[in-house]
Chain A
Amino acid sequence: MALFPYPVVDLQDRSEVTEPERLRVTLARGVLLFRWAMVAFMTAVAATGEPFRRPMLAWTSIGVAAAWTTVLTVQGHRWQTSYMLVDFAVCAWLLVASGVVVPVESVVSGRPFFAQGYPVSAAVMWGVARGPGSGLAAGAALSLFLIAVRPLNGVSLDELEARQVATLAGAVLNYIVAAGAVGLVARLLVESAEAVDAANRAAVVERERAARLAERERIGRQIHDSVLQSLALIHKRGRELMRAGRIAPERVAELAEIAGAQEAELRGLILREPEESPTGSASLRAALEQTARAVDGVAVTVSSVGPVWLDRACVEEIAAATRQALDNVVEHAAARSATIFAEEEDGIVSITVRDDGRGFAYDEDHLRAAGKAGMLKSMKGRIEDLGGTMSVSSGPGRGTEIEFRLETEPHRTQEPA
């Protein structure tokens, strides 16, 4: 016989459970503990107290309460109305039984009440499940049974003494207030839990968004590489065609074909697996290539021994310093070409910017006196902030070589955090 034919939701599975649900389950567990204590109390009263009018009925009632509590323990509390109505019925029955099983008039004689606290748990659970309003209503409904216990025990409500009325009123109030208060607390807790949940979800969404942006930026960079290259190629060929004087249509078609081939290559690039990078790091080579492309006025070649993975922030600073070095070349060196070289060897990263320009006599004090040290100083500052050093080697007619040297932290090369 399927006594509780409701779909089983495994509330233990924390990955699927929301914060408010988890909270309700915790409260239900607390109430469950209380239920077991009350079952034990009833058993103690039945075993040691005055003989009952209907011992069989008393033990059956205890059995029902114990069975129901076992079900709740094994399955966990459910929140469906039918389930809670069963709970309500068990609690109401315990109240009714209290009046029927004990000797006549003993409910007002100051002896321990048979069902004692157990029934209040039904009212409290309504409060937990449906809020303070439902809790109050359930408490009030159970109170009616509490009041009905007196006539069932042979006590006329009309003949209650003032003290007994006060005791009854106190008990009724206990039921209503307990259910209402727990309901109110539960609602407040659930609301704050929902807020926490919403904040968690927002954080997850934000993290995913950041990851997507980073991915898009990376793809964007790679496309940038390829597009620039194909454009440079078409530019060159286009100019060759123009110089040829007359332009045959098939030559233009061939140019279009080149563009098409580059397009296909680009597509392949987009579909390609990303270059695997340690978390939080960036490729120095990629950053330097990007820097080189942005410079106008001198042909810049990048030559790197491997991708050289470093902290993203570190890569950005090195690229900025390199950019300053290249700007210097364009402005002052009268160079035809410049080469950026980068490598990491024995825990030292070195970056060299070398040009074939006119060179100069490098003397920092002299440059400072002439007010020309600004750019060099700023470059040097960047690298020194990273814990590195900058050196300049130049001489009239020899070109200039600027070298940045930085120690890499062991964690960067071994195990990115």
Chain B
Amino acid sequence: MTDRIRVMIVDDHPVWRDGVKGDLESSGVADVVAQASDGGEAVERALEEMPEVVLMDLQLPTVSGVDATRRILEEMPHAKVLILSASAEEADVLEAVKSGASGYLLKSATSEELADAVRRTRAGDAVFTPSLAGLVLDEFRRVARGSEGEPDLTARENEVLKLVAKGYTYKEIGERLFISTKTVQNHVHNILAKLQLHKRYELMRYAIQKGLDRSPE
């Protein structure tokens, strides 16, 4: 019982929060230690309750899920953020993952899938849906076309990401490529790290464009 995962739920709909809380607690996987209905509140509550996994909706009033994700991870680098969203917000999902979220699950996922995703997120796995893999592939190709010097995927990472996009589980990918599941997870982890690097490059480019990197005279 002591090994239950400490979870915080961030969503502006109380019905949804209650539903998720019920599902997680009855599965025996997690304890919901905090809830928040807005990004700002989420940052405060996270610092008070120190959850291990934050389930984050993206469309929130005032402070967005993307901003809240970034701020929580700045303050608490060991926490994990799992995005739980409706599929219409794909661009935001990508943005959130680039800001440090470890994965993404659709709100239509079943209770078992949710409990499993929370468990894997706490263990350090990147939780990928096939459609997120498609988005990430698209992002890497766009970046590869656009500029030089930014981290690109290795051939193997590209292969792994494509198989994720085709709906294969990490275990199945490992079997197909004759590597361990752990190695597949490492690849996915590195892919995410590179994606987050993109974000830093983007910010840097922006700063250079705006002249923010120069000291005022």
A residues contacting B by CB (< 8 A) are 225-226, 229, 232-233, 236-237, 240-241, 251, 254-255, 257-258, 265, 301-306, 337-339, 341, 343, 345, 352, 354, 356, 399, 401
Contact of A232 with B130 in the complex, beta carbons under 8 Å:
no
- Distance A208 CA – B167 CA, assembled complex (angstroms): 43
Contact of B19 with A303 in the complex, beta carbons under 8 Å:
no
Q: Which A residue's beta carbon lies closest to that of B137?
A: A305
Give the tally of cross-chain contacts (CB within 8 A): 72
Which residue in B14, B131, B138, B162 is a CB contact (below 8 Å) of A254?
B14
Q: Which residues of A contact B88 (CB under 8 A)?
A: 225-226, 229, 265
Contact indicator per residue, chain B 164-189, by CB within 8 Å of chain A (1) or not (0): 01111000100000000000000000
Q: Which residues of A contact B87 (CB under 8 A)?
A: 229
Contact of B15 with A303 in the complex, beta carbons under 8 Å:
no
Contact of B166 with A240 in the complex, beta carbons under 8 Å:
no
Interface bin, chain B: 20 to 34
Interchain residue pairs with CB less than 8 A apart (29): A225-B88, A226-B88, A229-B87, A233-B107, A233-B108, A236-B108, A254-B14, A254-B15, A258-B13, A258-B15, A301-B129, A302-B131, A303-B132, A303-B165, A304-B134, A305-B134, A305-B138, A337-B167, A338-B167, A339-B130, A339-B165, A339-B166, A341-B162, A343-B165, A352-B166, A354-B167, A354-B168, A356-B167, A399-B172
Given contacts A258-B13, A341-B162, A352-B166, 6 further A-B contacts (CB under 8 A): A229-B87, A303-B134, A305-B141, A339-B130, A341-B130, A341-B167
Q: Which residues of B contact A226 (CB under 8 A)?
A: 88
With A233-B107, A301-B131, A304-B134 as contacts: A251 and B165 at CB distance below 8 Å: no
Q: Which residues of B contact A341 (CB under 8 A)?
A: 130, 134, 162, 165-167
Q: Which residues of A contact B134 (CB under 8 A)?
A: 303-305, 341, 343
**B160 CB to nearest chain A CB (Å):** 14
With A229-B88, A265-B88 as contacts: A303 and B16 at CB distance below 8 Å: no
- Distance A265 CA – B19 CA, assembled complex (angstroms): 23
Contact of A254 with B165 in the complex, beta carbons under 8 Å:
no
- Any A CB within 8 A of the CB of B208: no
Q: Which residues of B contact A265 (CB under 8 A)?
A: 88
Which residue in B138, B162, B167, B172 is a CB contact (below 8 Å) of A306?
B138
- Any A CB within 8 A of the CB of B203: no
Q: Which B residue's beta carbon lies closest to that of A251?
A: B15
Closest 9 pairs between A and B when the two form their complex, measured CB to CB: A339-B167, A303-B134, A303-B130, A303-B131, A341-B166, A303-B165, A305-B138, A254-B15, A305-B137
* Chain B facing A: main interface SS: helix
Contact of A240 with B130 in the complex, beta carbons under 8 Å:
no
Contact of B167 with A237 in the complex, beta carbons under 8 Å:
no
B residues contacting A by CB (< 8 A) are 13-16, 19, 86-88, 107-108, 129-134, 137-138, 141, 162, 165-168, 172
- Distance A399 CA – B16 CA, assembled complex (angstroms): 34
**A262 CB to nearest chain B CB (Å):** 9
Q: Which A residue's beta carbon lies closest to that of B110?
A: A299
Contact of B137 with A229 in the complex, beta carbons under 8 Å:
no
Q: Which B residue's beta carbon lies closest to that of A338?
A: B167
Q: Which residues of A contact B129 (CB under 8 A)?
A: 301, 303
A254, A305, A337, A356 pick with most chain B CB within 10 angstroms: A305
- Distance A356 CA – B137 CA, assembled complex (angstroms): 22
- Distance A21 CA – B87 CA, assembled complex (angstroms): 59
**B114 CB to nearest chain A CB (Å):** 12
- Distance A198 CA – B110 CA, assembled complex (angstroms): 61
**A16 CB to nearest chain B CB (Å):** 47
A233, A258, A339, A356 pick with most chain B CB within 10 angstroms: A339
**A395 CB to nearest chain B CB (Å):** 11
Contact of A401 with B108 in the complex, beta carbons under 8 Å:
no
Q: Which residues of B contact A338 (CB under 8 A)?
A: 167
Q: Which residues of A contact B16 (CB under 8 A)?
A: 237
Contact of B19 with A240 in the complex, beta carbons under 8 Å:
yes
Q: Which A residue's beta carbon lies closest to that of B14?
A: A254
Q: Which residues of B contact A305 (CB under 8 A)?
A: 134, 137-138, 141, 165
A251, A254, A301, A303 pick with most chain B CB within 10 angstroms: A303
Contact of A237 with B86 in the complex, beta carbons under 8 Å:
no
Contact of B13 with A254 in the complex, beta carbons under 8 Å:
yes
Contact of B166 with A354 in the complex, beta carbons under 8 Å:
yes
Which residue in A232, A255, A399 is a CB contact (below 8 Å) of B108?
A232
- Distance A343 CA – B132 CA, assembled complex (angstroms): 14
Q: Which residues of B contact A229 (CB under 8 A)?
A: 86-88
Q: Which residues of A contact B131 (CB under 8 A)?
A: 301-304
Contact of B168 with A237 in the complex, beta carbons under 8 Å:
no
Q: Which residues of B contact A225 (CB under 8 A)?
A: 88
Which residue in B13, B141, B166, B172 is a CB contact (below 8 Å) of A303?
B166
- Distance A356 CA – B172 CA, assembled complex (angstroms): 10
B15, B133, B138, B168 pick with most chain A CB within 10 angstroms: B15
**A394 CB to nearest chain B CB (Å):** 13
Contact of B166 with A401 in the complex, beta carbons under 8 Å:
yes
- Distance A343 CA – B88 CA, assembled complex (angstroms): 20
- Distance A268 CA – B205 CA, assembled complex (angstroms): 31
Q: Which A residue's beta carbon lies closest to that of B19?
A: A240
- Distance A341 CA – B87 CA, assembled complex (angstroms): 16
- Distance A304 CA – B14 CA, assembled complex (angstroms): 33
**A393 CB to nearest chain B CB (Å):** 10
Q: Which residues of A contact B15 (CB under 8 A)?
A: 237, 240-241, 251, 254-255, 258
Q: Which residues of A contact B130 (CB under 8 A)?
A: 301, 303, 339, 341
- Distance A25 CA – B107 CA, assembled complex (angstroms): 70
- Distance A257 CA – B19 CA, assembled complex (angstroms): 16
Q: Which residues of B contact A304 (CB under 8 A)?
A: 131, 134
- Distance A240 CA – B21 CA, assembled complex (angstroms): 12
